[in-house]
Amino acid sequence: MGFPGTWMTESQSTIYRVVPKCACSTIGQILYFSDHGHFFDGDIHDAQDGLHKWGFDQSQKIIQKNVEARTFAFTCVRNPYDRIVSSFFDKICAEQRNGRRYRENILPKMMRRYGVDLNSAQFDQIKAFRRFLLFARDTIRFRKPLDPDIHWSPISSHIGTFVANGGRFDTILHTEDLKNGMEDVLQRIQTPFAVDLTKVPRFNEGITNQIKREYPVADFFDDLSAQMIWDMYKKDFSLFGYNRHDPAAKTATKPIDINEIHAKLAH
């Protein structure tokens, strides 16, 4: 199976396991800058050079070699409540950079089937989100009416592929404390160019027709939807230290235990 979703700097300074909706655009741009002294002009996910990516045939052997050699490796996680709300507004509500809906051949039809009404100018964001949540839960728990999308499938399932196939993380960052986490990463590796994290802009905001979220994240969850989130992301809550009882509590309540994560995701 290899190491899908894995990127590595061309200088081979570090390996990064991408997790969608966990600051992956910003992290990818920081790694690109650390090798080239400038940011990629565009969405880093579209970059065809400047980074090794597992999706490139020519990169797979060199990534495999560095994983086996224990080159410094890291990933980044996020509060499941925040991540699923972000996925809803980014991938269900908004048009993408190309002016089209995300996965336009299938997701709009699925949203109509679940009663997600986005057509009115003042649609009920909370009602629409909770109906989307039912759809997302069905994809994760039953793999119906389709397999879970990468943007809301559990974080543990993403990083678990890296561990199960023989990789080992040296550190795991929290999106909620990204600056400090990336400072730690950059201090532990050798890069061709220094990165001033105070001057890193916000990336991946070039989406047209972006719908503004009208409520705090916690308002999107009642007792039933919070229970659904627990059913969907039990392992993410327990492994990464987030508070399952309070959707308003964004930051983790305990440090990540790297050894525990490797032990529980190795198979």
- Tens of pLDDT, residue by residue over 72-119, are 999 999 999 999 999 999 999 998 888 889 999 999 999 999 999 887
pLDDT band, residue 258 (cuts 50/70/90): very high
* Token duo for residue 14: 């570090």
pLDDT band, residue 208 (cuts 50/70/90): very low
pLDDT band, residue 209 (cuts 50/70/90): low
**Dist CA 96 CA 24 (whole Å):** 17
pLDDT at 254 over 60: yes
Q: Kindly state the percentage of the chain with pLDDT values over 90.
A: 89
- Tens of pLDDT, residue by residue over 118-166, are 876 678 999 999 999 999 999 999 999 999 999 999 999 999 999 999 9
Q: Kindly state the percentage of the chain with pLDDT values over 70.
A: 97
* Token duo for residue 86: 């972000």
pLDDT band, residue 207 (cuts 50/70/90): low
**Dist CA 58 CA 8 (whole Å):** 12
**Dist CA 113 CA 136 (whole Å):** 13
**141-171: buried (b, 16+ CB within 10 Å) or exposed (e) per residue?**
eeeeeeebbbbbbbbbebbbbbbeeebebbe
Report the pLDDT value the prediction gives residue 1, as an integer from 0 to 100: 73
For 151-209, the DSSP string reads TTS-HHHHHHHHHHTT---SEEEEGGGHHHHHHHHHHTS--SS---GGG----S---TT
What beta strand segments (E) does the chain contain? 6-9, 15-17, 51-53, 73-77, 171-174
Span 31-51, mean pLDDT? 97
CB 221 within 8 A of CB 129: no
pLDDT at 231 over 50: yes
Report the pLDDT value the prediction gives residue 121, as an integer from 0 to 100: 66
pLDDT band, residue 211 (cuts 50/70/90): confident
